[in-house]
């Protein structure tokens, strides 16, 4: 009799211990079931966004969650991107991954998404200080821009005139790349003069024309800093056509086959290589963690490498 009572008691204890553990595992699994995530990029044309999308898409498939993608038709339409976030709120996505075109313009709609209970994962680019979001996964753009300034300064012997061709005016990422670069030049290189800044919206043709104008107006120009993929290709094309490679040094951003070729032929001195695929992967990882009510870091550095002729083949 005592053995039967003892056996029953043991079974009851095991059952009580097992039920919460099973419930916790089931809850964790169900947290990601049927979840919908949308990534709204700055545009769909640049290879940077295509790589980021591919990384996110592959990770979403592994996590077995629905992944959608959207982007404005042009590279500077913050109003259209805002409308896309509004649409994602209406369609009740569980997580919005966003690369905001304009830090100020996109902040109100992101705050609206959070108020609606939607998780927000920012990738590549941040928002205004009053923005409410869950995490930002991005390059440390300020540190990278300072490194770009040091690289260009060394190439020109810490003296001379340089220009900046940026991408979208007002985008958090590109404005940080510009301001941190300028701050580093001002603080460390008093003999370097920045003659001006132009905004190409990431359009290579526009950047090419702007670089040509800078070189025409400043025949003694010795360097140009380009802040994204399209700007880098456009600036380098102008320098190459002017036969000023090695006289006007170019430091740019991102890595495509075109940029790799321009580094190899000496037109581009160096390019800041980001890791957009990792941004996409980490973005989905963060989304899953948020869906499972697990903590996430407010800011995650996705890392950079300075690509030069010495190491470009390995990148």
Average pLDDT over residues 246-271: 97
CATH of 141-273, one of 3.20.19.10, 3.20.20.70, 3.30.40.10, 3.40.50.2300: 3.40.50.2300
Q: What is the mean pLDDT of the chain?
A: 91
Rounded CA separation 306/96 (Å): 31
Helix (H) or strand (E) holding 222: strand 221-226
Report the 10 Å Cβ neighbour count for 15.
9
pLDDT digits (tens, 9 = 90+) for 131-150: 999 999 999 999 999 999 99
Q: Is residue 75 very low, low, confident or very high in pLDDT (cuts 50, 70, 90)?
A: confident
Same CATH fold, 141-273 and 34-138+276-302? yes
Report the 10 Å Cβ neighbour count for 192.
21
Average pLDDT over residues 238-242: 98
pLDDT digits (tens, 9 = 90+) for 266-283: 999 999 999 999 999 999
Task: For residue 211, give the nearest of 223, 229, 228, 194 by alpha carbon.
Answer: 223
Task: For domain 34-138+276-302, give the CATH number.
Answer: 3.40.50.2300
Percent over 70 (pLDDT), the chain: 90
204 pLDDT more than 80: yes
Q: Is residue 34 very low, low, confident or very high in pLDDT (cuts 50, 70, 90)?
A: confident
Task: For residue 113, give the nearest of 99, 137, 93 by alpha carbon.
Answer: 93
- Let me know the angle formed at the C-alpha of 238 by 46 and 125, rounded to the nearest 5 degrees: 30
12 pLDDT more than 90: no
Which of residues 308 and 10 earns the better pLDDT score? 308
Q: Give residue limits of the domains in the chain.
A: 34-138+276-302, 141-273
């Amino acid at each position: 009799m005592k053995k039967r009572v003892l056996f029953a008691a043991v079974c009851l204890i095991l059952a009580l211990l097992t039920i919460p553990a099973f419930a916790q595992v089931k809850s964790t699994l169900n947290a990601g079931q049927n979840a919908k995530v949308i990534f709204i990029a700055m545009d769909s044309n640049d290879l940077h966004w295509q790589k980021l999308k591919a990384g996110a898409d592959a990770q979403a498939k592994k996590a077995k969650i629905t992944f959608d993608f959207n982007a404005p038709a042009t590279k500077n339409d913050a109003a259209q991107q805002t409308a896309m976030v509004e649409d994602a709120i209406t369609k009740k996505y569980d997580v919005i991954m966003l690369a905001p075109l304009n830090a100020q313009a996109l902040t109100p709609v992101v705050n609206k998404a959070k108020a609606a209970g939607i998780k927000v994962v920012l990738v590549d680019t941040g928002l205004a200080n009053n923005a409410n979001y869950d995490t930002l996964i991005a390059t440390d753009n300020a540190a990278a821009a300072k490194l770009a300034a040091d690289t260009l300064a060394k190439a020109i012997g810490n003296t001379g005139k340089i220009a900046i061709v940026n991408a979208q005016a007002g985008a958090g990422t590109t404005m940080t790349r510009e301001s941190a670069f300028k701050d580093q030049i001002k603080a460390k290189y008093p003999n370097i003069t920045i003659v001006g800044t132009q905004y190409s919206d990431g359009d290579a043709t526009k950047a090419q024309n702007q670089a040509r104008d800078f070189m025409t107006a400043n025949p003694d120009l010795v360097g140009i800093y380009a802040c994204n993929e399209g700007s880098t290709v456009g600036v380098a094309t102008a320098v190459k056509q002017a036969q000023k490679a090695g006289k006007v040094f170019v430091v740019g951003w991102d890595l495509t086959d075109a940029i790799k070729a321009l580094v190899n032929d000496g037109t581009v001195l160096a390019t800041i290589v980001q890791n957009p695929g990792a941004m996409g992967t980490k973005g989905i990882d963060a989304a899953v963690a948020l869906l499972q009510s697990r903590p996430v870091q407010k800011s995650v550095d996705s890392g950079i490498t300075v690509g030069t002729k010495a190491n470009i083949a390995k990148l």
